[in-house]
Structure formats: structure tokens, C-alpha cells
A and B are shown apart, each in its own frame.
Chain A
């Protein structure tokens, strides 16, 4: 009979998945863990690894499976490869790793077997899983598994990521696996040994392929023929760039246009819920708190979920087809001139939707310096939360004029954010020391059809982790704003008086001297402060501070515009003039008014200093620039 503790020792097992990037490791992980996988993020770690339990239908509840960032060897050269090594040897979440599943791409065996050889030297009990079985089968290639088993001295199994063929056999081997007590650190190979081992791996791969398949190399060449043809167009010196713009433009438009109906629906649902709660106790403080504080703040944040989900799906498609590696290759040259890398492109593009997932997406960038610079300038990309603010000011400036002018103004703002971002990257790259040599050496994987199910599930998990991460920050700040605008005179009849005497109103008057050089008064200052909860709050804040009462959406905008046209400060000067409105737009273009961005930045960079420097630098720069701009415009006669 086993005692409980003995059973725990026997049954509890932790298995790590290790393999090169694009080897099909994460697909295997998703199949092994089913829907129960969770992502774990460790402080200080730059790229996360995932820990999950074996899926219930695979039987064993006590087996833990860990997915690690893709690595070519056990001698790390970039931050994410370090994570893999640490996950194996100093894992903070696992007592120890009992065994390793090495994932080997069946079409790339000569290269990928090197990792098997390295792991063998460490003494970890191994299971080798050969993926891409579906691709090989389609070309009639059969791998001699028995030969590999004998040569490598460990279980070797094949896995079909599309249909999960071979999953049960892998699980059976995992259950049989006995943890080794003697595990050593990897010993680096000299160049001579490296070349020798590579040669050996090539020989093993060749034998394994030719034993059961005639003309194996010709058949392998067929697998890559489509890829070579596609790349002739997609990486063409001229057309390649055109396709790049088309594909990226498509992704970009999808995030905006596809998400709109869902965003409207979420907006409507939350505002109905808010109204419903408000009606339960009209005029009471708790109803106001629930409807405006809690539901209102959640609405402001949840409304971006469709955009974020679509963005994750889009990036997932680019990732799983293999295009992302091509996009990075295409843009590498121009971006390296700015101190970044080709891999910086997709995170920057995501920044136009929302900086929070964009900063998370920088994990794809191997060089720490490139990654820091990229996440530094991401908040300069004009995110979707700035759109309502731009829309209001453009409507104010070009009221009653041709829509073309308004469109051009908006385009200029977007172009401006790209130019300012490039300049900032060029400047900041001089201040961040390069700790590791920046290398590109991008593997271009064979083009593959994306797996819809995996893609959707993965995007949903990423979205959920975004909600969990940013949600509490946004919620807390929104509650603070509600308290600040409601107290101390929460029972004042006139909402205008209530705001003016509130803590936020008092603060607004304190900061009035600061915002005065920008050409605006304390009410706009309050808007700028509340924009820190979410930038689009600025517009609704103006509605409150300028005492706009019309509840109807369209006419509320009209009412706000005409109120803005006549609003004067305490000295009787107009607040919203051409110069002050341009100044405000430039301010929104540059300033970092987003607490959730700061929160994510701290977590991802692992440095308060970096995030706070960025916060101060962006806002100070924006402020000084806007003051100079407004006063400059006024001195040349533009009011």
C-alpha cells in the first residue's frame, strides 16, 4: 500500500516542452493541456512560459506540462532563451522538472536534432516528438522511428498537430517516464564539436528519412517548393513591400471596422445596465457609484475588447502562417536605422489599437535593447482611445467645411505619430546600452495554413489575460476619479457646482496656472487629468465641466461644439481657439495619459525607473511643446 505522501511523490510529475521556434511546440502544448491551460507571468522574466495540467480526457491529473519560449540551443543568446534555461533549472513554480519532451520539426530534423543531443548530455529523461507528421505524410515520407529510438536512446514519437494523432502515445510515454536524479547543466560546445555534432545530426536525419522512403530529399523539396514560390513574390524587392503594406493595412482596417458593431453592442449593453442600476435608486449615492463609477468604468474598458481580440486573431494568423517572419525581414533594414529590429513592427502596429497588448507583443523581440526601444515608443502610436478626442477637435476646427479637410487632418495626426515615434526611437537608442549583440538571423518557416480552432482559443486566452492584467488598474483609477468628482458636496443640486467644489474641481483650480500657458482653463485641465483613466473620458469630462445638459448623443455633440465656440475663461477670453485646439491635439498625440499603459510597462520591462522616466518624459515634452506651439501661433497672429 502507498501512503498519501508516497503516492504524491510517485504521481506528481512536471514535464517541460522544449524546442526550436516554429517547431510546433505550442500546438502540442495546447493539445496536451486542453482548455485548462493557464499562463503564468514571473516578475523580472521578460518572456512568459505557460504551465498547465494534462487535459482531463487524457487521464492523469497530477502531470504538469510546461511550455517554454522557443530556443535553438541550451546556450542562450537572447532574453527569451534565458527564460527557457531558467524554466528548466531554476523554476520558481516547480520543485524540479522531471523530464523533457523535445519537439523536433520533421521537415527540419538535421538542425533540430542538435537540441536533442544537448539535452541528452544534461541527463534529463527525454521523449522526442517529431511534429509536422501531416506535411510529411502528404508527400509520402515515412520516418524510421525505430531507428531514431535506437540511435537517440529514448522514446521517439510522431505527432500530427492538425488532428492530434499520436497524442495518446505521447501521454503513455509521459506516464512511464521516470525522473532522473542526476541532472547537470549544459556544457558549451566548441565550434569543432558543434560542427561535428551537426554533421552527425544530418547523418541521423538522412538515415531516418531514407530507410523507408525512396527519393526522400526530392519529396522534402516538394514541401518547400510552394514556400519558395510564395517568397519570390512576398519577399520581392519591390512587390514584397507592396504586399506588406496591403497585408498590414488589411489587419489594421479589420481591427477598426470589424470591431465597430461589437463595440457598439457592448457600449449599448453597459449603458443600459448603467441606466437600469441608476433607476433602482435615483439620486442616491450608491446608485450613482454603481452606475457611473463601477459600470461606467468597466464600459470604458470592455468596449475595447473586440478590437483587442481581433488584433490577437490577426497577429495569430500572421504568426501561424509564417508571414510574421517575412514582415520582420522586410522592415528590418529601415527599423535597424532607428535602433530597433524588424521584429518591432507588429507590436508598433498593434499600438495603433491599444498600447497595452502592443507592449505585451514586444516579447517576440529577442534583443533586450530593441525591445525596450520598441515599448518606449509604442505609446506614441495614436491608439484608438485618442480617436474620439481627435474627432471632437477636428469637428470644431472644420465645422461646416468639406469632410476632405477633416480626413486630411486626421491622416496628418496619424502620420505625425509615426514621425514622432521614429524620432523618439532614434534619440532613445543612443541612451540605452546594448547588453547583448543585436542579431537578426531570422528563420523563415515553411508557409502553413492556420488552425482556426487553436487560433481562436489562443486569441481568447490572450484577451482574457489582458483583461485580468489591465482590468484592476483601470477599475481602481476610475473609482478614484468618481470619488474625486463626487465628493465632498455629493448632494449639491447643481452638477456644475458639485464638480467645481469637488476634490477634482479644487485640484483643477490648483493646476489652472499650469494649463493656462496652453491657452485653456481649469475645466479643460480637469479633462486632461481624468483622461488618465482613459483618454476618451476627456470628451465626457468636457460635457460635465461645460455643463452640457442635452442627453441625446448627436445633439449632445452639437451642443458641446457650440458651447466650446462661446466658452470663455475668468478673464473673458475665448478658451477654444485655433491655437489652443491644435495645441490640445498635439498634446494628446504625445502625452502618455494612460495608467494601464504605465502599469503594463512596469510589469513587462520589470523596471519602475523605465516606466516612470517614460511617463515624465512624454508628458513634460508634450507640455513644453504645446506651450511653445500655442504661444508661438498666438505671437504670429493666429488666435
Chain B
């Protein structure tokens, strides 16, 4: 599943297992510090179905749907 999976709720911890979609998104996600094996916490969503908020280590990131959809994860 991807980061957009509806079963994911704030507080859930997930692990990245792969990437898909636009190359430029993947490259930027790597630059932001995400890779296969990164464990991240779902924090929630901004109002109006806005960007998805995640935390990994000491970093906070807001991802648009199409960006979050690139990240394949499994729930720990």
C-alpha cells in the first residue's frame, strides 16, 4: 500500500518498502531524507484534505497526495 491508504491513522508508524511514480518526486524524497527502510510516523492531514503530515527522526514533512502516492509502505 501507499502512504495514502485510508487505513492509516494519525500515530501509526510505517516503514518505506519502495517508490513509484515520477522520478523527480522520488529524487526529491531521497534528498528530503526518505529511503527504503525509513520508519515514519503519520501525524495527520492539513485542513480541506490538504497535505499529509509525516515525521521521521527529527524531520517533519508535508506531502501532497501525488507525492505521498509515490511512497510504498508497510505497517509495522
A residues touching B (Cβ–Cβ < 8 Å)? 72-73, 75, 77, 107-108, 110-111, 114, 191, 194-195, 198-199, 217, 220-221, 223-224, 227-228, 231-232, 235-238, 240-241, 325, 329-334, 336, 342, 437, 439-446
B22: shortest Cβ distance to chain A, in Å?
A: 6
Among the interface residues A228, A241, A437, A442, which one has the most CB atoms of the partner chain B within 10 A?
A442
Asked whether, in the complex, the Cβ of A332 is within 8 Å of the Cβ of B50, the reply is yes
Asked whether, in the complex, the Cβ of A441 is within 8 Å of the Cβ of B67, the reply is yes
Q: Specify which of A114, A241, A439 is in contact with B25 (CB 8 Å cutoff).
A: A439
Asked whether, in the complex, the Cβ of A238 is within 8 Å of the Cβ of B24, the reply is no
Interface size on B, residues (CB 8 A): 35
Known contacts A72-B28, A220-B58, A231 near B53 by CB under 8 Å: yes
Q: Specify which of B28, B37, B59 is in contact with A439 (CB 8 Å cutoff).
A: B28
Among the interface residues A199, A330, A333, A437, which one has the most CB atoms of the partner chain B within 10 A?
A333
Known contacts A194-B27, A221-B58, A224-B58, A231 near B43 by CB under 8 Å: yes
Known contacts A195-B36, A441-B67, A330 near B60 by CB under 8 Å: no
Known: A330-B46, A330-B50, A441-B32. 18 other contacts (CB 8 A): A73-B27, A77-B28, A108-B33, A114-B33, A195-B35, A199-B37, A221-B58, A232-B43, A235-B46, A235-B53, A241-B47, A331-B50, A333-B49, A440-B62, A441-B28, A441-B67, A442-B61, A443-B60
Q: Specify which of B48, B50, B57 is in contact with A110 (CB 8 Å cutoff).
A: B57
Among the interface residues A199, A329, A444, which one has the most CB atoms of the partner chain B within 10 A?
A329
Asked whether, in the complex, the Cβ of B33 is within 8 Å of the Cβ of A111, the reply is yes
Alpha-carbon separation in the docked complex, A239 to B59 (Å): 23
Provide the B25-45 mask, 1 if CB < 8 A to any CB of A, else 0.
Answer: 111111111011100000111
Some 8 contacts from A to B, beta carbons below 8 A apart, are: A77-B27, A108-B59, A111-B33, A235-B46, A237-B45, A329-B51, A342-B51, A446-B58
Contacts of B19 in A (CB 8 A): 191
Contacts of A446 in B (CB 8 A): 58, 60
Asked whether, in the complex, the Cβ of B46 is within 8 Å of the Cβ of A191, the reply is no
A335: shortest Cβ distance to chain B, in Å?
A: 10
Alpha-carbon separation in the docked complex, A55 to B62 (Å): 38
Q: Considering only CB atoms, which chain A residue lies closest to B50 in the complex? A: A333
Asked whether, in the complex, the Cβ of B44 is within 8 Å of the Cβ of A235, the reply is yes
Contacts of A236 in B (CB 8 A): 44, 47
Contacts of B4 in A (CB 8 A): none
Q: Specify which of B24, B32, B55, B60 is in contact with A72 (CB 8 Å cutoff).
A: B32
Asked whether, in the complex, the Cβ of A329 is within 8 Å of the Cβ of B50, the reply is yes
Interface check B64, CB cutoff 8 A: yes
A521: shortest Cβ distance to chain B, in Å?
A: 48
Alpha-carbon separation in the docked complex, A331 to B19 (Å): 27
Q: Specify which of A199, A437, A444 is in contact with B35 (CB 8 Å cutoff).
A: A199
Alpha-carbon separation in the docked complex, A446 to B49 (Å): 23
Asked whether, in the complex, the Cβ of A108 is within 8 Å of the Cβ of B61, the reply is no
Contacts of A231 in B (CB 8 A): 43, 53, 60
Contacts of B17 in A (CB 8 A): none
Asked whether, in the complex, the Cβ of B48 is within 8 Å of the Cβ of A442, the reply is no
Contacts of B32 in A (CB 8 A): 72, 111, 441, 443
A364: shortest Cβ distance to chain B, in Å?
A: 15
Known contacts A195-B30, A441-B67, A333 near B58 by CB under 8 Å: no
Asked whether, in the complex, the Cβ of B35 is within 8 Å of the Cβ of A237, the reply is no
A342: shortest Cβ distance to chain B, in Å?
A: 8
Q: Specify which of A108, A217, A228, A240 is in contact with B46 (CB 8 Å cutoff).
A: A240
Q: Specify which of B33, B35, B49, B62 is in contact with A329 (CB 8 Å cutoff).
A: B62
Interface check B63, CB cutoff 8 A: yes
Contacts of B58 in A (CB 8 A): 107-108, 220-221, 223-224, 446
Known contacts A110-B33, A330-B50, A444 near B60 by CB under 8 Å: yes
Asked whether, in the complex, the Cβ of B46 is within 8 Å of the Cβ of A198, the reply is no
